[in-house]
Amino acid sequence: MKRFDLGFMFSGKNASVLGGVIAFVLVFIAIQPIQKRSNSNNLELLHVSFDPTREVIHEINEAFAKDWQKFNNGKVQIYQSHGGSGSQARSVADGLPADIASFALFTDMESIAKKKLLHPSWSKSKGVMAPPWNTAIVFLVRKGNPKNLRDWPDLIQQGVGVIAPNPKISGNGRLAFLSAWGYMLDKGHDDFETRAFLKNIYKNVPVMDASARASQVTFYQKKIGDVQLAFESEALMAVKESEGQLDIVYPSISIKIEPPIAVVDSNVDSKDTRLLAENYLNFFYGLEAQRIIAKNGYRPFDVSILREFESKFPPMKLFDISLVGNSWTEVQSVFFGEDGVFDQVFKAIRNDGKN
């Protein structure tokens, strides 16, 4: 699957319009299995996920369908829906009938749990406690790294264009913001110094798209900016597809990203797809899917597969959420809630622009 086709559809106002259309179509499509299952041997699932998982999920879906047909003598069709993590979570909460959901952030999964869509013990499930994949925020730069961007302080230099999604609606955006924040805390800086540092980074952001994929269109297709704050998985695939036009820089520290995945209990029970959905989720932990995950640039859960791909994944210094807050719920509220840290930083940038 090529990722840079139709890029104009995924930025600005087009993204909102397209997202609404896709959501409507997917609701219609996903409801069909309920109506057809009584007279068809074909089984269907809907996996709602965040932007950078399009390719890896597509490939896992194909492998699972072949596996299911081989061992169960039946066909299965798995539909996909992708967008900014927060937007996708809201779509599921508002009625998009996902059988499986995977998001960039714990708090996005929590938001659908609050709608009673997940079992009360959802937070202790394997897909949340030990997801089948993980990644981190890295720097995607142009060939040869002409601005010599090596670490977080380089992003505050005058004349450097930084591309990152909007932290209010994008998981990639929030994790990029937190990675820069964690860098400052790791260096022993106080809250005042850290806020000033983030303000100086985001002053250099000319475009804040709605999702990780839209940001990549801005950076690669539209050639805006000098560096994109991207998931390692996205950066690895972008470098490959750019045929030498892009490079990856690993900063000195980044946040460990463990995207949760779960069966959407309320939906699978109403659609009678629980057995299929649970088999599908478990398939992500098998060796075949773990190799697909690694091939697509995500660090696999299985240690043996990680060793198999160790040349692809250099060691990184990673921190977990405890460096920046007591829990994901607290971090979401403090940093990205109404008038939270990000809003305050952005307001300071606007005020500087008026002076």
pTM of the model as a whole = 0.84
Residue 72 belongs to a domain? yes
Are 217 and 333 part of one and the same domain? yes
Would you say residue 1 lies in a domain?
Answer: no
Whether 236 and 337 map to the same domain: the answer is yes
- Number of structural domains found in the chain: 2
- Dihedral, CA of residue 285, residue 289, residue 291 and residue 294, to nearest 10: -80
Q: What is the pLDDT along the chain (355 residues), one digit of tens a residue?
A: 455 443 433 334 444 444 444 444 444 444 443 333 433 568 999 999 998 999 999 999 999 999 999 998 889 999 999 998 989 999 999 999 999 999 999 999 999 999 999 999 999 999 999 999 999 999 999 999 999 999 999 999 999 999 999 999 889 999 999 999 999 999 999 999 999 999 999 999 999 999 888 999 999 999 999 999 999 999 999 999 999 899 999 999 999 999 999 999 999 999 999 999 999 999 999 999 999 999 999 999 999 999 999 999 999 999 999 999 999 999 999 999 999 999 999 999 999 876 6
pLDDT at 111: 96
- Same structural domain for residues 122 and 141? no
Give the end of a domain, one of 291, 308, 325. Answer: 308
Residue 81 lies inside a defined structural domain of this protein:
yes
Of 290, 308, 326, the one marking the end of a domain is 308
CA pair distance 185, 187, nearest whole angstrom? 5
Smallest CA-to-CA distance from 325 within 338, 340, 343 is with 340
Minimal CA–CA distance to 183: which of 166, 200, 208, 207? Answer: 200
* 26/44 same-domain check: yes
Tell me, yes or no, whether 284 and 321 share the same domain.
Answer: no
Short-list 223, 274, 227, 275, CA closest to 248: 227
Q: Are residues 19 and 111 in the same domain?
A: yes
Residues 46 and 101 in one domain: yes
Co-location of 283 and 294 in the same domain: yes
| Chain position carrying tokens 């995950």 | 293
Contact 172, 238 (CB under 8 A): no
Contact status, residue 324 vs residue 178, Cβ threshold 8 Å: yes
Residue 176 lies in a domain: yes
Q: What is the DSSP string of 168-237?
A: TT-HHHHHHHHHHHHHHHHTT--HHHHHHHHHHHHTT-S---SSHHHHHIIIIIS---SEEEEEHHHHHH
Within this chain, do residues 128 and 144 fall inside the same structural domain, yes or no?
no
Which domain does 150 fall in, by range? 135-257+316-354
pLDDT tens-digit series, residues 275-311: 999 999 999 999 999 999 999 999 999 999 999 999 9
DSSP state, 14? Answer: H
At residue 29, what is the residue type? I
Q: Are residues 72 and 184 in the same domain?
A: no
Please state, in angstroms and rounded to a whole number, the distance separating the CA atoms of residues 218 and 300: 28
Residues 243 and 327 in one domain: yes
342 lies in the same domain as 225: yes
**What are the beta bridge partners of residue 249?**
139
- Give the CATH number of the domain where residue 244 resides: 3.40.190.10
Element (H, E) at 126: helix 126-129
**2 within a domain of the structure (yes/no):** no
pLDDT confidence of residue 41:
66
Residue 91 CA to residue 98 CA, distance in Å, equals 9
